[in-house]
Amino acid sequence: MAGVIDRIERAVTGMGRPPVPTTSVLETLLFFRREGVQWRELRALPERASDSTLRRRLTEWGTTALLRRVHAVLIRMVRSGPEAAAQGWDVVVDSCSVRAKRGNRWLCFREGIQPLIRKTGQPHGSRLGHIR
């Protein structure tokens, strides 16, 4: 996702310190979410951004609606075909973004498959055991 953000976000050319790489900002955000640390405990490390950098970048992305544009790009990639989506990035898709196929019961009904649910103590056809 960092590659998509870097492509959409315009490069800042100017004087001063270069910005923290987007991959470091995203890794810090994932660390913050996964580990559940306090916001003020986020310290700048070589592979992670500090709390102020993370706050500043999230504010910038929020004011420019960058994450909405990234979401739209990812959806376009997925809808254009799985080959196009798999070329550059690994994409995770949830059912909120792309319409899911109908569930298992619909497929069984369409194919004429009747699911048979056995009661406890009756033999069944799985190879895991003879009696449920």
Residue with the larger pLDDT of the pair 107 and 43: 43
- 123 sits in the region (left: phi over 0; alpha: psi -120 to 50; else beta) called beta
One-character DSSP codes across 78-105: HHT-HHHHHHH------TTTSPPPP-HH
Check residues 30 and 132 and name the one with the higher pLDDT: 30
Work out the mean pLDDT of the chain and round it to a whole number.
73
The pLDDT value recorded for residue 52 is: 84
Q: What are the residue ranges spanned by the domains of the chain?
A: 2-88
Most confident of 58-62, 79-83, 109-113, 128-132: 58-62
What gap in Å lies between CA 29 and CA 61, rounded to an integer? 13
The confidence band for 34, taking pLDDT boundaries of 50, 70 and 90, is confident
Whether pTM > 0.75 for this model: the answer is no
Summarize the confidence of residues 23-45 as an average pLDDT. 80
pLDDT of residue 100: 57
* pLDDT score of 32 more than 70: yes
Q: What is the pLDDT of residue 132?
A: 47
